[in-house]
Amino acid sequence: MSDTTTATTTATPLRKVLGERTAKALATHLDLHTAGDLIYHFPRRYDERGEHTDLRQLQVGEQVTLLAQVKSATVRPMRQRRGTMLEITIGDGSGATLTCTFFNQAWRERELRTGRWGLFAGKVTDFRGKRQLNGPAYQLLRADATQDEAAEEIEEFAGALIPVYPAAAAVPTWTIAKCVRTVLDTFQPPEDPLPGAVRANRNLVGIGTALREIHRPSSKEELFKAKYRLKWDEAFAVQLTLVQRKARAAAAPGRARPRRDDGILAAFDAALPYELTEGQARVGEEISADLARAHPMHRLLQGEVGSGKTLVAVRAMLQVVDAGGQAALLAPTEVLATQHHRSISAQLGALGRAGELDGDPAGTQLTLVTGSLGAAARRAALARVADGSAGIVVGTHALLYEGVDFHDLGLVVVDEQHRFGVEQRDALRAKAARPPHVLVMTATPIPRTVAMTVYGDLETSTLSQLPRGRSPIASHVVPPERPAFLDRAWQRVKEEVRAGHQAYVVCPRIGDAAGAEDDGEPPSDTEGESARRPPLAVLDVAPILAEGPLHGLRIGVLHGRLPAEEKDAVMRRFAAGELDVLVATTVIEVGVDVPNSTVMIIMDADRFGVSQLHQLRGRVGRGSAPGICLLVTEAVEGTPARERLDAVASTTDGFKLAELDLEQRREGDVLGASQSGRHSHLRLLSLLRDSKLITDARAEAAELVGDDPTLARHPALAASVAALVDEERAEYLEKG
C-alpha cells in the first residue's frame, strides 16, 4: 500500500491507495480506475445473518455468494484417480445445506473447521441429485480466531449488513469490500453538489454520509437514507439535463407554420368521411398551436395500436404544407414506409396528386423515397423533393443520404422512434435551413416515469381512445399441455377464411440454411436459449401449413430479406384479399393495416417481448369484425415466460402492459445501456419503483433551471450532472 496520510479524493488513482497489483485487477476486470470509480461501484445487495440467501432457493447454474456456516468437513481418497477430495457441508440456519468440494486441497480442512462462518462464492452445480459448489472461493470471518472467539464474533455480527458487490471471478466481492474499506479510511468526500435548499426540502443526507453508509451501513434505516440520496442524485442529474434542453429548445429560433382556414388541411377535414375522435381533435389542437409558434415543436405522440396517430400526423403535415413548408415522415422499414405512403395517398385522394390529370391543383404532391427505388424513379422523386413540389415526403433511412435535399423542410415526423439512433434523426433535421418542428410517434405505450425520464424534454400527447368501428380483440394462450388446442387454432383460421376474412401467422425467425434471425427486436426472454430448440421460422412453417392444417388456403410469405418489390407485391395481394393467410416475421409489427384480417396466431410467443406481442395483435380487429389473437407457446404454467403471456392475454390495455414490460426489463434496457461510458447508466434508480422520487426531482429541476438556466450559480451541481449524465447520454436523452 502507498502512503495513506494524504486525503483520498474521487480523482485519486487507485494505484496510489491500493498498490499497483490490486489497482490493475480492478481496472482490468471491472473498469475501475479512480477512488471515485470504486466509491460509486455500489453493492447490488446486502447479506444479513438470518436474512441472507436461502439455500433452499438456489438454482443449478446460478452464480452465488452465500453467508454460511461449516457443518462438517471430510477428506477421502478419490475413486477414479489419484488424490484426495475435501468435502465440506455448509448451512445457513434455514435447515438446508450445500456441499462444497475441493480436489487435492486437504490442507483447507485446517481452516474450514466446523462452526466457522464465512462467505462462499461459486457456481451451483448438480452431482447425483445433490447441489454443490465445486472449488468455491471463500472468505472466513476472523480467520485467526479460535472457535470461542468465532462464536462471539457471530453474535456481534448478527445484525451486520454485508455488502455484496458486482464482481468478477478474479476480483470477488470480499476483495472489493476490502478495497472500499481501505479507500474510505482516507476518503475526503467531494463538495456536496446539491443546493442546501433542495437537501432541506427533500430531507436528504449529505453526500459524504450517503457514500459511507451505502458501503458500510450502520443500520437498515441509514442504508435506506443513503440509497435515497444517491437515487436522488441520479434522478436530479437526468431531469436537470432534460429541463435545460427543453428550455433551450423553447428559446431556439424556428419558423412558425400557422394554420390556414382556406388551405389543403381545411379541404382535407371537410372531405373526411368520419368525425375525429375527441382525443384526435384535442391532440390536433395541441400540435397546431405548437406549429404556429416561432420555436421548433418537440412533441411525443403516443397512442394505443390503432388509435389514429397517422391521421393526426397527416393533419399536422398539411398545416405545414399550407404554410409553404415540406414535411418528412421517417419510417423504420420499407414495408412500413410503403404502407404509410399508400394509406396517406388514399386519405388525401386528389389533394395528394397536384399536377396530375385527376389531381386537385390546390393540393400537393406525395412522394416515396426508399433505398430500392430504381435510378429513374429516384431522380424524379428527389427532384420533386428539391423543388418543393412534393409537400409530403415519406421514406426510410434513404431520406438521410447525401443528395436528398429539401426545398424548405418544416416538419419531421419520426414513426417508431425507438428504431432510430440519434445520428439518424439529426441527419434529417440537418436538412432544414432552420431547426424544423419535430413530432415523434410511438405505438408502444410508455409508463409515465419512463416518458418523464427518457422523453422528458418533449411535450407529450396521448391518444387512448380507439376510433369508432374498431372491434375488440380476444387473446388466448395455446399451451403445450393441451395439444388439441393447436389443432383447434388452425380450424379457427379456416373458419375465419370461410367467413371471408384473413389471417396472420407470425414466427420469430426467417429461417434458411444460415439460420437468419428475425426482422424485429430480439426477444426479451432468452434464458436457457442454448438448451431450447431454435425458434420456429417462416420458411419452415409456411410449407408445413400449406401441406397440412391449412391445405387449400392461399398462403403468402413476408419477411425482411425479400426484395422490396416482392414485399410490396405480397402486401398488395394480401390487402386486396388475394391471399388468405400471411406467414410473416415481425416485419408486420407496425403500420400494416388490413381491416379484413381477423385472426393472428403467434408461434413461439414466449420468444417475443410484451410490447412486441401487443403491437403484433394490433394488426387484427381493425375493421368491423372482432379479432382474435392466439399465443402459441411451449412455456409451462408457473414459468415467468408463461406468466408474461397470460398477462398479455388478460388485457388489451397497452399502458398496463408497458408497466409489466418495465418490471421485467433492466433499467439500462429502457434507457439505452448501449451508450458508452461508465457514467451513462443508472446504478440505483428504478423507473418503476421510484416514480414519486422522479416526479419530485423533476419539480425541483424545473424550479432551479427557471432561476438559474445554465447552473452558473451552482458549479458543483453542474459538474455532478456532467459526471452522471455524460455527453453521449445527453445526446441519447435529446429525443427531439
Q: Are residues 137 and 179 in the same domain?
A: no
Strand partners, 393: 328, 367
Q: Which of 651, 670, 685 is the last residue of a domain?
A: 651
- For residue 15, tell me if it sits in a domain: yes
Within the chain, what is the greatest distance between any pair of CA atoms?
A: 100
Helix, strand, or coil here: 395?
Answer: strand
What pLDDT score was predicted for residue 529? 38
Alpha helix locations (H) across 63-206?
147-157, 173-185, 196-202
| 604 C-beta neighbours (distance < 10 Å), count | 23
User: Do 533 and 629 sit in the same domain of this protein?
Assistant: yes
pLDDT averaged over consecutive 10-residue blocks of the chain (736 residues)?
68 93 93 93 76 68 79 86 88 84 89 86 80 83 59 50 83 88 92 93 95 92 94 91 83 89 94 89 95 91 81 96 95 85 92 90 93 89 94 90 90 76 69 88 72 72 73 85 86 94 94 51 38 82 94 93 87 92 86 85 91 86 87 86 89 78 55 36 77 90 91 89 62 43
Based on the domain organization, do 368 and 286 belong to the same domain? yes
DSSP state of 533: P
In this structure, the answer to whether residues 27 and 61 fall within a common structural domain is no
Q: What is the pLDDT of residue 421?
A: 56
Is 11 in the same domain as 68?
Answer: no
Residue 90 contacts residue 70 (beta carbons within 8 Å): yes
Number of neighbours of residue 321 by Cβ within 10 angstroms: 26
State the pLDDT at residue 304. 73
Whether 126 is in a domain gets the answer yes
- Pair 366, 345: CB distance under 8 Å: yes
CA separation for the pair 333, 707 (Å, rounded): 44
DSSP assignment letter at 191: P
Report yes or no: 615 and 305 within 8 Å, Cβ to Cβ.
yes
**547 and 431 within one domain:** no
Residue 731 lies in a domain: no
- Count of structural domains within the chain: 4
3-state secondary structure of 269: helix
DSSP-derived secondary structure for 580-591:
SEEEE-GGGSSS
The helix (H) or strand (E) run that includes residue 612 is helix 610-617
68 forms beta bridges with 118
Positive or negative torsion for Cα 291, 295, 296, 301: negative
- The answer to whether residue 234 sits within a structural domain is no
Q: By the 8 A CB rule, do 458 and 287 touch?
A: no
| CATH number (domain holding residue 536) | 3.40.50.300
Q: Residue 505 gets which letter from DSSP?
A: E
Chain center to CA of 556: 32
Domain check: are 34 and 91 in the same one? Answer: no
Of 130, 163, 196, which residue is a domain's last?
A: 163
Regarding whether 368 and 333 lie in a shared domain, the answer is yes
Q: What is the DSSP letter of 49?
A: T
Tell me the three state secondary structure of residue 187. Answer: strand
Flag whether 249 is in a domain.
no
User: What's the N-to-C CA distance of the chain in angstroms?
Assistant: 50
Structural domain includes residue 590: yes
- Determine the Cα–Cα distance for residues 177 and 170; give it in Å rounded to an integer: 14
426 and 535, same structural domain?
A: no
In a domain, 466, yes or no: no
Extract the C-alpha cell encoding 634: 411451449
**What pLDDT shows up at residue 23?**
93
Nearest to 255 by CA among 324, 162, 342, 343: 324
Contacts for 5-11 with beta carbons within 8 Å, 24 or more apart? 5/186, 6/186, 7/186, 7/187, 7/188, 8/35, 8/183, 8/186, 8/187, 8/188, 9/35, 9/36, 9/187, 9/188, 9/190, 10/34, 10/35, 10/36, 10/39, 10/190, 11/35, 11/36
Q: Where are the beta strands (DSSP E) in 144-287?
A: 161-164
SS3 state of residue 597: strand
- Do residues 338 and 370 make contact, with C-beta atoms less than 8 angstroms apart? yes
Helix (H) / strand (E) containing 733:
helix 727-733
Q: Assign 267 to helix, strand or coil.
A: helix
Cα–chain center distance at 189: 34
CATH number at residue 86: 2.40.50.140
Contact 541, 583 (CB under 8 A): yes
- Domain extent for 109: 51-163
Q: Are residues 644 and 533 in the same domain?
A: yes
User: 380 with 275, same domain?
Assistant: yes
Look up the pTM and report it. 0.65
With cell 387484427, the residue in question is 620
Residue 306 three-state SS: coil
Q: What is the DSSP letter of 487?
A: H
173 and 155 within one domain:
no
Buried b (16+ CB within 10 A) or exposed e, 24-39: ebbbeebebebbbbbb
In a domain, 523, yes or no: yes
